[in-house]
Copies of this chain bind each other. A is one copy, B any other.
Amino acid sequence: MSDAKRPVGVALVGMGTVGTEVLRYMETNGDELAARIGAPLELRGIAVRDTSKDRGVDSSLLTDDPVSLTLREDVDVVVEVMGGIDIAKPLLIGALNAGKAVVTANKALLAEYTDELAEAADSTESDLYFEAAVAGAIPVLGPLRRSMAGDQVERVVGIVNGTTNFILSEMDSTGAAYSETLAEASRLGYAEADPTADVEGYDAAAKAAILASIAFHSRVTAKDVYREGISAITPAQFESARHMECTIKLLALCEKVRRSDGTEAVSARVYPALIPLGHPLASVDGAYNAVVVEAEAAGRLMFYGQGAGGAPTASAVLGDLVAAARNKVMGGRAPGESTYRALPVATIDDVVTRYHVSMSVHDRAGVLSQVAAEFSNHGVSIAQVRQTESEQGAELVVLTHRAAERDLAATVSALSEMDSVREIVSVIRLEGEDQ
């Protein structure tokens, strides 16, 4: 620790809400951070698109040349909070190849290119930290990688997107339709002008890929993640959820599955699902995030907190920055990406779960038995059936026992061709029961 006083040089790339908060904390808490690191942090520069814009910082720190900034001799740690892939990817790979530690919140980049980033990090034994990429302020990746390092993670189930959780919580409490609720979310600033990435589950899928990779020491990328969004969720589905003492949440699920051929694989998927009101995730409302980790020895753990926002995300970035800077001062390296298990990725067909199928049927004798027969023909066992009469005719609601997606899908397509079935109104999965 002779050189414990040598300052640690930091390059900040991007100065949006998160970057601004990171900067603010570096300034206001500089002494504390120095005490925790063993040396002071020194900001070498801030890369932004437009250096002419006044950002309330010493303008001599601003540059529109992130590459030169991050490769400076006196830069030890690169903090990337700019987002996007085209510029960030080569930038961070270059920084890692140059032996800089990298702290990033860039989930889109990580969900696709962690392999290339990790390879660059390994080539110089540099640190690559990205706690802020998943669930904002909530420490999830650190605990998975470090605290659970002696355990076997079996399943990770999370509410990792605040926009969709806000919308679904609202729909549940107000009974309003999806479109109105989305409009309200936009008014309140919970949804972006183009909400596609959130409401169609792309954001959650990127996070699921990152979580699955770390939880199972295997590589899962965003395109490996099965994905359904929430735009088709209806007030009627919330009503039947209530009948079953459930609510509906957009879940990111990562679990080890046994495929039909007996081999082990990783399943990563994002979809809206029924969960029992007694499940810890059921009461996670509004813009909050939560991640449940189930492990062989630890049992069920839950991590809960704010999943987005400038300050919460900055908290995660700063935690990583302190760790990376500390390693520069004290030596050592954070656990790198480990994919030694290299489990294959399961398709949605391999998933086994429970299903809630509601269909409108012609109100004639024997319909129920015909429908029931179709389920059993495909080896899907029925747990409950509810038959209701309405002006539109009869409706059948079937809740299955655990069944394979492939069998359920075959059942549903067969049902949709039956004369006595007017329409398959909705198919939604039930999760969190056996968890």
Binding site for B on A (CB under 8 A): 21, 25, 29, 32-33, 35-36, 131, 137-139, 142-143, 146-152, 217, 280, 283, 295-306, 311-312, 314-323, 326-327, 330-333, 335, 338, 340-341
Contacts and interface: CB of A to CB of B under 8 A. Distances in A.
A306 B35 CA distance: 33
For A138, A147, A302, A306, which residue has the most chain B Cβ atoms within 10 angstroms?
A147
A332 B326 CA distance: 10
A314 B217 CA distance: 21
Given A149-B36, A322-B150, A305 B299 contact: yes
Given A35-B340, A332-B327, A147 B319 contact: yes
Given A152-B29, A326-B335, A301 B300 contact: no
Contacts of A330: 332-333
B332 A150 contact: no
A142 B217 CA distance: 20
A298 B304 contact: no
A297 B314 contact: yes
A332 to B, nearest CB: 1
Q: Which has the most chain B C-beta neighbours within 10 Å: A32, A131, A151?
A: A151
A318 B149 contact: yes
A30 to B, nearest CB: 11
Given A146-B319, A147-B316, A297 B25 contact: yes
Contact of A147 (B21, B142, B283, B332): B142
| Residue of A35, A298, A327 contacting most chain B CB atoms (<10 Å) | A298
A420 B371 CA distance: 75
24 contacts: A32-B341, A35-B338, A36-B217, A36-B335, A137-B298, A139-B143, A142-B142, A143-B143, A146-B319, A147-B316, A149-B319, A149-B326, A150-B319, A151-B318, A280-B304, A297-B318, A299-B305, A299-B311, A299-B312, A300-B305, A301-B305, A301-B306, A303-B304, A332-B332
A146 B332 CA distance: 15
Nearest to A310: B297
With a 10 A CB-CB cut-off, give which of A139, A301, A331 has the most chain B CB atoms.
A139
Contacts of A327: 332
Contacts of A312: 297-299
A228 B304 CA distance: 28
Contacts of A131: 147
Contact of A35 (B217, B303, B321, B331): B217
A48 to B, nearest CB: 22
A330 B335 CA distance: 9
A312 B302 CA distance: 14
A171 to B, nearest CB: 21
Contacts of A21: 297
B315 A151 contact: yes
Contacts of A319: 146-151
